[in-house]
Amino acid sequence: MVVTLTIGLDLGGTFVFALSGAMAGVKHRLDLFGVLVLSFAAATSGGIARDVFIGAVPPAAISDWRYIAIPVLAGVIAFYWHPILERLQSSVLLFDAAGLSLFAVSGALKALAFHLGPVSAAILGMATGIGGGIVRDLLIAEIPTVLKSEIYAVAALTGAGVVVVGSLLQFPAHVVCAAGFVSCFALRFAAIRRGWRLPKPVQPSRGESRSGRSHG
Amino acid sequence: MVVTLTIGLDLGGTFVFALSGAMAGVKHRLDLFGVLVLSFAAATSGGIARDVFIGAVPPAAISDWRYIAIPVLAGVIAFYWHPILERLQSSVLLFDAAGLSLFAVSGALKALAFHLGPVSAAILGMATGIGGGIVRDLLIAEIPTVLKSEIYAVAALTGAGVVVVGSLLQFPAHVVCAAGFVSCFALRFAAIRRGWRLPKPVQPSRGESRSGRSHG
Amino acid sequence: MVVTLTIGLDLGGTFVFALSGAMAGVKHRLDLFGVLVLSFAAATSGGIARDVFIGAVPPAAISDWRYIAIPVLAGVIAFYWHPILERLQSSVLLFDAAGLSLFAVSGALKALAFHLGPVSAAILGMATGIGGGIVRDLLIAEIPTVLKSEIYAVAALTGAGVVVVGSLLQFPAHVVCAAGFVSCFALRFAAIRRGWRLPKPVQPSRGESRSGRSHG
């Protein structure tokens, strides 16, 4: 049952992140296939990295047709109906938060199922959650938003950590998943709504930056 | 015999993509070793990803000296004779198309040999074909051309798909490979010559882009 | 004993590269967690790639808590005491050279322990050394310094090569490691001090560059 739960959470996250990747492609005026490649990369990179790291090869995103069909579907939707999606911009932020939470939970669950230790499982859950967005931003040559934005990776780590602790305490799997999802989503949602941010370095290091792009 | 065929196709693609990576390095005025690193990255990234995903570790590009010698050779050629290669610019485009076709075919063949399903094998063939160019462009901080350019990934997917279908129908391996190569190469060649493009999003999303670099 | 030696060298390199990643994050004004993500990425990417390539999954950087604790420690240090580190800028360059040497040696040792051939082991040692810096620079959207700077990858390859040759000749492990470390560090140090560089392409390819960013 845990397997079914993991896959269900994973597929949900796949769809949401595929939409985010496809929208990024539309914004950069890519052609249809470029949009599909970004959709696939955003949706599957986190899970592929997780599966490679735990030795679950070939990764589910390659061997299971649903992980291929869903990004194609999301890419086509974004390509033809992006004006509607853009009006839902704040909804997209919520979808993204949902995807982050789904992947953080499914990543931690799968790592535990492959007998990784608790700290490793929490780290892998976080990596599964943030990996897709990092690759998406790299491909469009931007500094990954996870590095710059409000509480994001922290939320994923929290959700994954809740799953790991709950599993160690042998709570039922669906309770653990719900708690992990809610804790990640609530933290991310609050960060968006209230503009919560983590502290920045005390003093800027003037004239040190080798690139002016971070100020552009 | 399929193994020999796969390796032969792979080595041919390695040389061509190594040249493309080395030329990118020369254009960015890298030193000799920088050119060699780009040459190696462009030539082997697609195959390394494929081998990691199917569990064929260490990847052939690491364990087989020919995959190391060929990029070094191509890098040195590009470094010292790049003016000649630049005059052959359109030939380079053709070489690149040949490399794409060779890798798409060899990638799909190897995935099938490792018992992946047909859809997975076609996707992995495409990834093998386009992976090197993506890493090459990431390293020089550009949006990968595969995301922006004319029919490219589509051609790789077509070639890999022909190989998969032909293998399922149990046609002889060399016939299948020839058909896969020709279909990919012809599609890519026609796209270059006739300026074929895939459709772009109907309506630009004005003022949405967070980065001005895609218009630079 | 070789295992202990490998891990000790690896942990030392991890700390030094974590500092370099964290300092890059501070320079780009990332928040605390962004700094930690860059610290972790710079410290562990080379080793993760090596472990995935040789089939040692889950990678030590995921499964061993010390590889997680050290980047966190280095990230916090850089975040709160970066003005001091900046005054030590030239020391940081030396630390970086030390990290490169430590990783090149540990990478080659581990590859040999997993029965890779000599050329593969030297290449993997180099990749372990330069991998972290490449990912660090990709994440902040810059052309990796390894591609542009003075003798860097060459030094790593030299150090790894010394380890491989010494091991083949069955010299004692600690002698081999010391020789590998010293050869890499000395080469890198001399390159920094004396401004040694590798040759650049004879003639610039004017007007060919598609991007003005390498001249910015």
pLDDT digit string (tens) for C10-66?
899 999 999 989 988 888 888 888 899 899 999 999 999 999 999 888 898 888 889
Q: ∠ at Cα A140 (A134, A146), nearest 5°?
A: 25
Positive/negative CA dihedral, B98, B103, B106, B109: negative
Q: Is the pLDDT of residue B168 over 80?
A: yes
Which pLDDT score is estimated for C210?
Answer: 41
Say if B216 falls within a structural domain. Answer: no
Regarding predicted confidence, which is higher, A204 or B33?
A: B33
Q: What percent of chain B has pLDDT over 90?
A: 46
- Put simply, the answer to whether C119 touches B82 (Cβ < 8 Å) is no
Summary mean pLDDT of chain A: 85
Structure ipTM over 0.90, yes or no: no
In the complex, which subunits touch A with 3 or more CB pairs below 8 angstroms? B, C
Enclosing domain of residue A179: 2-197
**What is the pTM assigned to this prediction?**
0.84
Lowest-pLDDT choice from A152-156, A185-189, C14-18, C144-148? C144-148
Q: Under a CB-based contact definition with an 8 Å cutoff, are residues A102 and A181 in contact? A: yes
Strands (E), C70-201: none
- Closest C-chain CA to A140: C141
With tokens 């796969």, the residue in question is B6
Rg (CA), chain B: 17
A47: confidence class by pLDDT, cuts 50, 70, 90: very high
Residues of B in contact with A149 (CB under 8 A): none
Read off the pLDDT of residues A132-167 as tens digits, 9 standing for 90 and up.
989 998 998 888 878 876 688 889 999 999 999 999
Lowest-pLDDT choice from A41-45, A202-206, C114-118? A202-206
Distance separating alpha carbons of residues C156 and C154, to the nearest angstrom: 5
The DSSP secondary structure of C21-60, one letter per residue, reads HHHHHHHTT--HHHHHHHHHHHHHHHHHHHHHHTT--S-H
Q: What is the mean pLDDT of residues C124-132?
A: 92
* Count: domains in chain A: 1
Say if A26 falls within a structural domain. Answer: yes
Q: Is the pLDDT of residue C89 over 70?
A: no
A196: confidence class by pLDDT, cuts 50, 70, 90: low
Say if B212 falls within a structural domain. Answer: no
Say if C58 falls within a structural domain. Answer: yes
Distance separating alpha carbons of residues A173 and B120, to the nearest angstrom: 30
Tell me whether C81 touches chain A (CB under 8 Å): no
Residue type, A75: G
Residue type, A176: V
Q: How many other CB atoms are there within 10 angstroms of residue C134's CB atom?
A: 24
Regarding predicted confidence, which is higher, A116 or C84?
A: A116
CB-closest option in C33, C35, C57 to A53:
C57
Summary mean pLDDT of chain C: 85
CB-closest option in A27, A62, A141 to B53:
A62
Q: Is the pLDDT of residue C124 over 80?
A: yes
Q: Under a CB-based contact definition with an 8 Å cutoff, are residues A60 and A67 in contact? A: yes
Say if B210 falls within a structural domain. Answer: no
Q: Is the pLDDT of residue B188 over 60?
A: yes
- Put simply, the answer to whether B211 touches A141 (Cβ < 8 Å) is yes
Which pLDDT score is estimated for C112?
Answer: 94
Tell me whether B216 touches chain A (CB under 8 Å): no
Q: Is the pLDDT of residue C7 over 70?
A: yes
DSSP state of A31: -
Residues of C in contact with A154 (CB under 8 A): 33
Which pLDDT score is estimated for B215?
Answer: 39
Say if B211 falls within a structural domain. Answer: no
C203: confidence class by pLDDT, cuts 50, 70, 90: low
Distance separating alpha carbons of residues B118 and B138, to the nearest angstrom: 29
B27: confidence class by pLDDT, cuts 50, 70, 90: confident
| C-alpha atoms less than 13 angstroms from C-alpha of B168 in its C-beta half-sphere | 13
- Put simply, the answer to whether B120 touches A216 (Cβ < 8 Å) is no
Distance separating alpha carbons of residues C156 and C37, to the nearest angstrom: 25
Q: Under a CB-based contact definition with an 8 Å cutoff, are residues B7 and B59 in contact? A: no
Residue type, B38: L
Buried b or exposed e, range C154-168, using 16+ CB within 10 angstroms: bbbbbbbbbbbbbbe
Residues of C in contact with A135 (CB under 8 A): none
DSSP state of B216: -
Which pLDDT score is estimated for C59?
Answer: 92
Candidates C56, C21, C16, C45; CA nearest to C35 is C21
Residues of B in contact with C143 (CB under 8 A): 28, 139-141
Tell me whether C53 touches chain B (CB under 8 Å): yes
C215: confidence class by pLDDT, cuts 50, 70, 90: very low
Q: What is the mean pLDDT of residues A5-11?
A: 86
Q: Phi and psi for B210 in degrees, rounded to 5?
A: -80, -10
Lowest-pLDDT choice from A31-35, B145-149, C10-14? B145-149
- Put simply, the answer to whether B143 touches A138 (Cβ < 8 Å) is no
Among residues 168-197 of chain C, which lie with CB inside 8 Å of chain B? 197
Which pLDDT score is estimated for C197?
Answer: 64
Distance separating alpha carbons of residues C132 and C161, to the nearest angstrom: 19
Q: What is the mean pLDDT of residues C136-153?
A: 83
Which pLDDT score is estimated for A105?
Answer: 95
Distance separating alpha carbons of residues A34 and B134, to the nearest angstrom: 12
Which pLDDT score is estimated for A92?
Answer: 67
Q: A26 exposed, middle or buried (CB, 10 Å; 0-12, 13-18, 19+)?
A: buried
A31: confidence class by pLDDT, cuts 50, 70, 90: confident
Q: What is the mean pLDDT of residues A75-82?
A: 90
Buried b or exposed e, range B115-144, using 16+ CB within 10 angstroms: ebbbbbbbbbbbbbbbbbbbbbbbbbbbbb
Say if A202 falls within a structural domain. Answer: no
Tell me whether A84 touches chain B (CB under 8 Å): no
Q: Under a CB-based contact definition with an 8 Å cutoff, are residues B143 and A29 in contact? A: no
Tell me whether A97 touches chain B (CB under 8 Å): no
Regarding predicted confidence, which is higher, C214 or A179?
A: A179
Distance separating alpha carbons of residues B209 and B215, to the nearest angstrom: 10
With tokens 């799997």, the residue in question is A173
Candidates A112, A213, A91; CA nearest to A171 is A112
